[in-house]
Amino acid sequence: MRTLFQPRTIAVFGASTNQAKIGYRVVENLLQGGYQGTVYPINPHGGEILGCPVFQTLTEIGDEIDVAVMAIPARFVFDAVVECGKKGVKHLVLISSGFSEVGNIDEEERIVHYAREHGMRVLGPNVFGVFSDASSMNATFGPSGILPGHVAIITQSGALGIAMIGKTAAESLGLSAVVSVGNKADIDESDLLEYLGRDERTRVILLYIEGVKNGDRLEQTLRWVTRRKHVVVIKSGRSKRGAMAAASHTGSLAGADDVFDAVMKQCGALRAESVQDAFNWVQYLATAPAPVGEDAVIVTNGGGIGVMATDACEKYDIALFDDQKRLHEAFSEVMPDFGSSKNPVDLTGQATAQDYEQALEASLAEDGIHAVMALYCETALFDTDQFGGLLRKTFERFRELKPIVFTLFGGAKIEALVRELRREGIPVFANVYEAVSCLGVLYRAWRNHNKEIKEIGRLLLPLDRIDSILRTAGNDQRGFLLAHESSAVAEALGLQMPQSRVAGNLDEAVQAAESIGYPVVMKIVSRDIIHKSDAGGVALDLQTKDEVIDAYQAIRRACRAYKRDAKIEGVEVAEMVHPGVETIIGARQDRSFGPTVMVGLGGIYVEVMKDVAFRAAPVDRATALEMIADLRSFPLLMGVRGEKRKDIEAVADVIIKLSHLIDQCRDITDIEINPLVAYDVGEGAKAVDVRILFQNPGEVR
């Protein structure tokens, strides 16, 4: 991939002297952008562009070609790719559009197939190109004048990507690389992250995604990349309607948004809602020093804006330094009479520029303070003209030592100052929520970095036994397991379940009940009867032998009447489960991310309150516990109203096991345990109903 970012030579198919053409813009950007290698424009008409000779064909060129950029109509692309293959080109950048994004899928596949067979990697088609600071290469038809720096952008949207490049220059944001991924026919985000994750110039990666294709690889890649670089992700198509719009626009399916969101968190990627937020974040993350602790302080000359910053701290999860004694010591000297050295530290509107500067100095000097939010309201009594110098000086003092964000609030002078300082790379905002959100994201990144990660080992599962159950079921052309088969899988996993036996006749039913102990429940076992209750195939709370006998006969009679030709395997006799807190654990092969695992509380909580937590599978114990704690209904498991804490460890066990099963056994598409009844701590959790869907390995789905 290095060659794509640092090619020695670039050929441009479709190079043109017509300044309105993409083929001209690419050559112009390469030549005028200071590209350190050699550019070979190609056009059947020959001639020259901006003083650079144009070749009529690729073969004419004597040099080896590292990268070929194509800005030619779709119908000519394949032939050009064949030429490149013969020439031994290493990377193709297919700017040309008119492929899968408009339904022309076969041609795209043909091109990529040919390219891969001939050792070429393909970026695109339907991209605006690549910029790489490493070789001063602007191989795009986007804006010129890209500033060098430490932020890399990977974008699925062309139009937005080009506009973003323009915006970076306007906001003095320096870039290490920009790549448009377009249709992702070959090279995708993960490939690029692999490279940029090791690229020394890059400190922060901004990823704009519309749809995820190989989510599990993306997840695996992000996991390690986020340990080395900050990764900010924008994914549009958050809403259902937005996801539909995304699908119509790039031809890629947007995954379910809550799974995406959960997986990004799990990987340590920082998801932004808007481009504005993302830009603020990457700019801040690229320059701010890492904090050494959680205690932040708000320094303000206006009480109202201090209160707002406090609200924003709660929203963005920033802890405020609360050691009253040390706060008092640090700030009492610079504090006017009516000020407050509580946090927010309120210097009041009476504060002079000097007071303000001293208060920020005091924040820097106090070791207990790890980050600073400096707020300033324009007042009638404070000379705004000198303020720029003060802020520059203060920022220089803080730069390497402590994270700081500034919020300035006021009139035209202040607004101009904000713009000016921002252009100088000083983190100054006009909106306190934006400022605090930057510090918040720095903390999120820092907490991710500090989180110990262990390789998740492969949990040893009795896959042979499980496979054999699936094979047996598969012979029946079923896509689901029967109750006793699901139970057998659960048993193989070592899950706690209600005691249960399948009785083939009345005697066996009575024997089973006697040995399990009353009360018991009974259920019909038949692959032909899915809705057991509707068929009269269920009896609950049977207290005596006589009740078992009656129920057995009633169930068989009812089921026969319900479906005359149903093949009945028997009647299951099971322990009646005593009540606890009902949870649901699910695991499935997600369309975007592959194996995922889910936990929720009780049927109603999941169905009505949508109170669930997802992760990519497999998960370790720490993650399983974190999932449980993420639930809004978590207090129910901790014990409310004087109840005991439930056996959260046992619930976590089940999450871990299902997460490994769904990962190791890809034939299983869905597992759901509903309910998994959690008892008091130490008493475990029982899997009352286990449902498993699978794809028959012998069949094509």
Beta strands in 204-357 (DSSP E): 204-209, 230-235, 270-272, 295-300, 319-320, 345-346
Give first-to-last CA distance, the chain, whole Å.
35
| Token pair in block for residue 187 | 């090279």
Nearer to its own copies, 88 or 603 (CB): 603
Alpha-carbon distance values, 180 to 12, 81, 290, 527, 614 (Å): 17, 19, 30, 51, 30
Query: Binding of its own copies at residue 303 (CB under 8 A)?
Result: yes
Neighbours of 29 (CB within 10 A): 23
Query: Binding of its own copies at residue 435 (CB under 8 A)?
Result: no
* HSE-CB of 231 using CA atoms within 13 angstroms: 33
Nearer to its own copies, 316 or 593 (CB): 316
Query: In terms of C-beta density within 10 A (0-12 exposed, 13-18 middle, 19 or more buried), how is residue 493 classed?
Result: buried
- Whole-number minimum distance, CB 637 to its own copies, in Å? 10
Q: Nearest-5° angle of CA 413, CA 415, CA 420?
A: 95
Query: Binding of its own copies at residue 33 (CB under 8 A)?
Result: no
**Residues between 384 and 413 with contacts to its own copies, criterion CB under 8 A:** 409-413
Query: Binding of its own copies at residue 248 (CB under 8 A)?
Result: yes
x/- letters, 249..268, toward its own copies (CB under 8 A): xx------------------
Rg (CA), the chain: 32
Query: Binding of its own copies at residue 433 (CB under 8 A)?
Result: yes
Calculate the dihedral angle through the C-alpha atoms of 374, 377, 383, 384, rounding to the nearest 10 degrees. 80
Nearer to its own copies, 82 or 319 (CB): 319
- Whole-number minimum distance, CB 97 to its own copies, in Å? 7
SS3 304: helix
**Helices assigned H by DSSP within 198-239:** 215-228
Residue 300 phi/psi, 5-degree rounding, is -140, 155
Part of the chain binding its own copies (CB under 8 A), chosen from 110-118, 242-250, 456-464, 473-481: 242-250
Buried b / exposed e along 111-132 (16+ C-beta atoms within 10 A): bbebbeeeebbbbbbbbbbbbb
- Whole-number minimum distance, CB 102 to its own copies, in Å? 6
**Residues between 480 and 539 with contacts to its own copies, criterion CB under 8 A:** none
Residues 6+ apart with CB under 8 A from 664: 458, 459, 461, 463
Query: Binding of its own copies at residue 450 (CB under 8 A)?
Result: no
Query: Binding of its own copies at residue 346 (CB under 8 A)?
Result: yes
Query: Binding of its own copies at residue 166 (CB under 8 A)?
Result: yes
- Whole-number minimum distance, CB 504 to its own copies, in Å? 32
SS3 214: coil
- Whole-number minimum distance, CB 610 to its own copies, in Å? 8
Query: In terms of C-beta density within 10 A (0-12 exposed, 13-18 middle, 19 or more buried), how is residue 390 classed?
Result: middle
**Residues between 111 and 130 with contacts to its own copies, criterion CB under 8 A:** 128
**Residues between 189 and 228 with contacts to its own copies, criterion CB under 8 A:** 208, 210
**How many residues lie near its own copies (CB under 8 A)?**
94
DSSP 419-485: HHHHHTT--EESSHHHHHHHHHHHHHHHHHHHS-----PPPP--HHHHHHHHHHHHHTT-SB--HHH
The strand pair at 129-132 and 175-180 is best described as antiparallel
Part of the chain binding its own copies (CB under 8 A), chosen from 259-267, 313-321, 450-458, 466-474: 313-321
Nearer to its own copies, 41 or 344 (CB): 344
In 3D space, the residue among 333, 359, 358, 357 whose CA is nearest the CA of residue 345 turns out to be 359
- Whole-number minimum distance, CB 305 to its own copies, in Å? 6
Query: Binding of its own copies at residue 167 (CB under 8 A)?
Result: yes
Query: Binding of its own copies at residue 622 (CB under 8 A)?
Result: no
Which H/E stretch holds residue 590?
strand 581-590
Query: Binding of its own copies at residue 283 (CB under 8 A)?
Result: no
Nearer to its own copies, 89 or 345 (CB): 345
SS3 103: coil
Residues 9 and 29: their CA atoms lie apart, in Å, by 15
Query: Binding of its own copies at residue 336 (CB under 8 A)?
Result: no
- Whole-number minimum distance, CB 27 to its own copies, in Å? 13
Alpha-carbon distance values, 97 to 72, 105, 108, 608 (Å): 9, 12, 10, 44
Query: Binding of its own copies at residue 340 (CB under 8 A)?
Result: yes
Residue 293 phi/psi, 5-degree rounding, is -170, 180
| 7, 142, 174, 684: which one binds its own copies (CB under 8 A) | 142
Nearer to its own copies, 296 or 445 (CB): 296
| 163, 364, 461, 554: which one binds its own copies (CB under 8 A) | 163
The strand pair at 538-542 and 428-429 is best described as unpaired
- Whole-number minimum distance, CB 343 to its own copies, in Å? 8
Residues 616 and 629: their CA atoms lie apart, in Å, by 16
x/- letters, 544..563, toward its own copies (CB under 8 A): --------------------
SS (H, E, C) 388-425: HHHHHHHHHHHCCCCCEEEEEECCHHHHHHHHHHHHCC
Nearer to its own copies, 85 or 336 (CB): 336
- Whole-number minimum distance, CB 257 to its own copies, in Å? 9
**Residues between 413 and 432 with contacts to its own copies, criterion CB under 8 A:** 413-415, 430-432
Nearer to its own copies, 202 or 301 (CB): 301
Beta strands in 87-224 (DSSP E): 91-94, 121-123, 129-132, 137-140, 148-155, 175-180, 204-209
**Residues between 363 and 382 with contacts to its own copies, criterion CB under 8 A:** 377-381
Query: Binding of its own copies at residue 237 (CB under 8 A)?
Result: yes
Query: Binding of its own copies at residue 320 (CB under 8 A)?
Result: yes
Query: Binding of its own copies at residue 241 (CB under 8 A)?
Result: yes
Residues 617 and 619: their CA atoms lie apart, in Å, by 5
Nearer to its own copies, 108 or 210 (CB): 210
Nearer to its own copies, 510 or 609 (CB): 609
Residues 93 and 67: their CA atoms lie apart, in Å, by 7
- Whole-number minimum distance, CB 509 to its own copies, in Å? 29
Query: Binding of its own copies at residue 30 (CB under 8 A)?
Result: no
| 75, 119, 338, 550: which one binds its own copies (CB under 8 A) | 338
Which H/E stretch holds residue 108?
helix 105-117
Nearer to its own copies, 415 or 667 (CB): 415
Part of the chain binding its own copies (CB under 8 A), chosen from 66-74, 112-120, 238-246, 692-700: 238-246
- Whole-number minimum distance, CB 311 to its own copies, in Å? 4
x/- letters, 70..109, toward its own copies (CB under 8 A): ---------------------------xx--xx-------
Residues 173 and 282: their CA atoms lie apart, in Å, by 9
- Whole-number minimum distance, CB 273 to its own copies, in Å? 7
- Whole-number minimum distance, CB 98 to its own copies, in Å? 8
Nearer to its own copies, 226 or 633 (CB): 633
